[in-house]
Every structure is written in structure tokens, then in C-alpha cells.
A = this chain, B = another copy of it.
Amino acid sequence: MLFDSEIDRVVRTGIPLTGTAPWKALAAHHREISDVHVRDLFVADGERHERFSLEIEDLLFDYSKNRVTDETVKLLLDLARASGVVEVAKAMFSGAKINWTEDRAVLHIALRNRANTPILVDGEDVMPKVNAVLEQMRRFTDDVRSGRWKSFTGRPITAVVNIGIGGSHLGPAMICEALRPYHDGPRVRFVSNVDASDFVEAVRDLDPAETLFLVASKTFTTSETMTNAHSARRWLVEALGDEAAVARHFVALSTNREAVAAFGIDPDNTFEFWDWVGGRYSCWSAIGTAIAVAVGFDRFAELLEGAHAMDRHFQEAPLEENIPVLAGMLDVWYRNFFGTATNAVLPYDQYLHLLPAYLQQGEMESNGKSVDREGNRVAYATCPVIWGEAGTNGQHAFYQLIHQGTSLIPCDFIGVVNSHNPLGDHQEKLVANLVAQTEALMKGKTAAEVEAELRAAGRDEEEIKRLVSHKVFEGNRPTNTILLDRITPRSLGLLIALYEHRILVQGVVWRINSFDQWGVELGKVLAGTILEEEKELLAGEEVDLGHHDASTRALIERYVERQQKG
């Protein structure tokens, strides 16, 4: 039994995904529609935009510039239904152990369950624990922000450094950047990479006597994080001259209270979370403490409320009006039927510049899998590569390929109406560029249009012949547009949760476990071995590297030799 018998009935039919009726119907439909140009669909249908747009609060999701018809949407929703999307979502919200390889519930939704309805795991309601940690976060961040939290030397804290990596880094870092206009607490910095340069640059201008470190590691054993934490500890103790300072300058976001205490952190300053909070879904938990320090706990609570509003939409809206479901099924449509390999995330707001990196983890670590629920290797593509940069920067970098390259790249354009920094006509230009890109990618420009334009510009026929094909745009490049009135904690919560549920939808259709990450283990183990070997070699010991391939061996030897030369 994977989740429970009701879900099993739906999801374990014994039929390979590509053999199911909805999949075959989509394959047949794709053959019919693959040459249809969206430009023509807009001409033929005056209601297309209304029908293919949805709203929740101030978030508009316009998917009308996709290569879909009513029939496509119907068939995609058939596939979603047949795949058990509804049942698995329901199971997640009810606390069922849908992370079946690790036998865990998946309850980031509990962390922002502002309705406070009970959610049972193994018969126990998790909400009292959730609320207790939120209350602890409120007290702590209020104290730090107000100056009631005194440093070892009695001074207030003016800088907070979050030390964490992966899920303990990308969420808080992305959100702190996105909410920069709301910052009214101490400076917040982030250290993640084990490269010492990351730590050194982050603390270069900080005063140890006024700096507080948040060490974010579920297990408190993550190699990169603990290496940085120990360097931070040395930096602090050397400056303040007393080991006892650690307790006033370090807190832990962790589940391992014993290791936290051994580090010198007061167990009362440990912010707990639970095995049902996956790293890449943890920004809503104690891992979000840096956010609450930067913008205050009330703003952090608004972030949770926005996410909770999306949770309710995802649970309650019929599939036809369900934004995460439609977005997720469009992803399946392109990946599996058009054979696309990447999705671009293009935020038209500088404060959202870390969103692509955040979603890279969110989607690729969740759905970059190739084994299905039965333990079989899948016979279809799963997660594409997620990438992107802030527009308009991307326009001057890689949009060339999106417009005229040989690969079809579905894009999410994420825009904001009102800037937090209204200045001249910057915002009009920014939004004009966003909208124009979606128009250009969809419409394209035909050879006849190019020729007419060149002729009107007085170019001679030989030049026209030479240039015309280079200036043609095929168009028919699919885009979603997500437009917010303004980036607020609440609207950001809506946006992030939209992507989280979209990931779930994809994963259910692909029959994979979106909540484990076995693929990170092997490299970790081998790095441990190689580190030992490097250290022994650097200490002048004999080491047998014969178990490595010749390249790995040579790289280790070169590193040691060149390191010793300095």
C-alpha cells in the first residue's frame, strides 16, 4: 500500500502511463494541433483571452498564449483526473504519508494553515506544534528587531547572517530579496557555499559584537553548513575572546537538539521543524526566521496567509478553474507531447531575481526523477530544466535563442503593475517589454512581413534576399503571463504556493515521488572519501587511490600537488 487504498485504486491501475486512454487521446490531439498557430486561434476566437485566464486575489494567470484549444484543456484535465491529482492533493492536505520512499507526510501546507483546522499525522494534530514554533519565532524576531535581544557585549544586533544551503538557503534568500522594500529590521545576509569566499565576503564589513548567526540545518550535520557555522563560531570567539559569547550570537533552525547544544547554542534558542517539512518546501517553517527578522513577524504571517489562500484555491477550485492544476498540466503538455526540455522563468521585477534559482531547486529536485511508484524506470520524460533571469536583462542576453533557436521553450513571464520604486517611466517601460515579449513570441513575423518592411526601408533586392530568412520569427512560442498588482508578502505567498502545487500536479501525473531526493546521496558519500584522501595526502601520508578511475585520481593528485606549491 502506497498511500491508502482509495488513492491506490486510482493511481495503481497496472496500465503504463503512456498506455492510458487520456494519454493516448492527448497524443492523437497533439498530432492534430501541433501545426496550428496561436495567432490564428486568437483571430478565430474573440473570447480566447477571457476563457484562458484566471484570477485569485490580485494574481492574474493568463495562459491564453499557449498552444491549446478547449479540447486540449479538456484532455489535460482528463489526464489529471485519471492520474489521481485530486486524490493525492487531498491526501497531502489530510496528513497522509505521500512521500512513500521515506514514509513521511508532506505538510508544508500545515505551516501556513491559518484556518488552524486539525491535521493529523499518526493520529496527532500537528497544528499545536506548528503554532508554538511560530509563536517562538514571533518572540525571538521581535526581541532581535527591538533590541531587547542583547549581544554578548550588551549591544543590540545590527546584522543577522543565515547559514544554510539548498532548502535552508534559497527560500529565505529569495523571499528576503523579493521583500527588500519591506526591510525594517537588522541587515540580513546569507552564507551557503562551502567556498570560504562566500563566508569571508558576507562578514567582511560586519561587527562580530552586533552579529547574530542563524544556523539552518535540519540534521545539524550538513557538511557545508556546519563548516561555515564553525568558521563563524571561530570568527566570533576570536573577536569577542570568550566561548560563552556563542550562546548570544547563534541560534539554530534544526531538529537535532543534541548536536545544537554541543555546538554551544542554548537549546531554548533552537527553532524546531519536523520530518514532514521537506527542505525545498521549508521557507514557511522556522527556516523562514531570517525573513521575519528582516520584515517583522506580522509581514511573515502575511506571507503565510497568501500561501494559505492558494492552498484553499488548489483544494477547492474545480479543475477547470484551478491555477496550479492548469499550470502543471500545461507543463506536462509541452514536456511530454511537444518534447520540450526546459522551462524559462522570467520575472520582470528586479527584486524577484532569485526566483529562477529558487524554482530550479523547487522543480528539479522534486521532479528530476526517473523511477515510478512501482519502482520501474519511466518511459517518458519527467522534469525539464528550469532556468531564467530577470527581464529586461534576459532580453539582452538569451532571448535570441527563445525567439529564433531550434528548441521550443515554454516561458513564464511574471510581472508586477506597481513598482515599490516609482521613478520616471521605468515601470511603463518594464511592463511594455514584458507584454511585448509575450506578443512577439506568440505572433512572430512572417517572411512576407519582413520583405515588405525591408522594401519600405529602401533596401535593394539582393540585400532583402540575403537578410529575409534571418529576420523571420516563427512565433507560436508558448508563454504564461502571471501579473500581480504589487509584490507584497501576501501576493508573494500566493505566487510561491502556486508553483509548489504545480510541482505536485506534475509529479502525480509522472507517477514519481516529488518529495524525496535520493539523487543527492552518491556525490555526498564520494566527497567524504575524497576529502579524507586529500587530507592524508596533504599530510604527506601514502594513500591508495587505486579504487578511483584515472581521471578522478589525477584530479585529486593535481589538487594536492598544486595546493602544496601554493
Q: Which chain B residues lie closer than 8 Å to A409 at the CB level?
A: 385
- Among A58, A391, A392, A517, residue most surrounded by chain B Cβ atoms (within 10 Å): A392
CA–CA, A351 and B440, complex, Å? 36
Contact A392 B194 (CB under 8 A): yes
Q: Which residue on chain B has the smallest CB distance to residue A380?
A: B406
Contact A398 B551 (CB under 8 A): no
Q: How many copies does the complex hold?
A: 2
Contact A397 B48 (CB under 8 A): no
A229 CB to closest chain B CB (Å) equals 11
A117 CB to closest chain B CB (Å) equals 32
A396: contacting residue among B58, B167, B387, B481, CB under 8 A: B167
Contact B405 A551 (CB under 8 A): no
A385 CB to closest chain B CB (Å) equals 5
Q: Which chain B residues lie closer than 8 Å to A387 at the CB level?
A: 342, 385, 387
A195-B551 contact, Cβ under 8 Å, with A385-B401, A519-B403, A523-B436 = no
Q: How many residues of A contact B (CB 8 A)?
A: 160
Contact A400 B432 (CB under 8 A): no
Q: Which residue on chain B has the smallest CB distance to residue A522?
A: B440
Contact A481 B39 (CB under 8 A): no
Within 8 A of B (CB), among A178-203: 180-181, 192-201
A165-B197 contact, Cβ under 8 Å, with A385-B342, A443-B549 = no
Contact A429 B381 (CB under 8 A): no
CA–CA, A357 and B387, complex, Å? 10
Q: Which residue on chain B has the smallest CB distance to residue A228?
A: B426
Whether a CB of chain B sits under 8 angstroms from the CB of A461 is no
Contact B423 A523 (CB under 8 A): no
Whether a CB of chain B sits under 8 angstroms from the CB of A377 is yes
Contact A424 B231 (CB under 8 A): yes
A217 CB to closest chain B CB (Å) equals 11
Whether a CB of chain B sits under 8 angstroms from the CB of A341 is yes
A481: contacting residue among B198, B421, B551, CB under 8 A: B551
A118 CB to closest chain B CB (Å) equals 30
The 5 closest A-B pairs by CB, nearest first: A368-B401, A166-B396, A341-B341, A404-B519, A361-B397
A42 CB to closest chain B CB (Å) equals 4
Contact B198 A526 (CB under 8 A): no
CA–CA, A467 and B371, complex, Å? 10
Q: Which chain B residues lie closer than 8 Å to A527 at the CB level?
A: 429, 432-433, 435-437
Which of A119-127, A250-258, A412-420, A494-502 sits within the interface? A412-420
Q: Which chain B residues lie closer than 8 Å to A468 at the CB level?
A: 375
Whether a CB of chain B sits under 8 angstroms from the CB of A383 is yes
CA–CA, A383 and B517, complex, Å? 30
A180-B201 contact, Cβ under 8 Å, with A368-B405, A562-B417 = yes
Whether a CB of chain B sits under 8 angstroms from the CB of A29 is no
Whether a CB of chain B sits under 8 angstroms from the CB of A87 is no
Whether a CB of chain B sits under 8 angstroms from the CB of A535 is yes
Q: Which chain B residues lie closer than 8 Å to A473 at the CB level?
A: 519, 522
Whether a CB of chain B sits under 8 angstroms from the CB of A27 is no
Contact B60 A439 (CB under 8 A): no
A518: contacting residue among B385, B401, B471, CB under 8 A: B471
Whether a CB of chain B sits under 8 angstroms from the CB of A555 is yes
Q: Which chain B residues lie closer than 8 Å to A407 at the CB level?
A: 341, 381, 384-385
6 more contacts with CB within 8 A, not counting A196-B426, A404-B519, A481-B551, are A165-B392, A368-B400, A375-B466, A399-B519, A435-B555, A442-B549
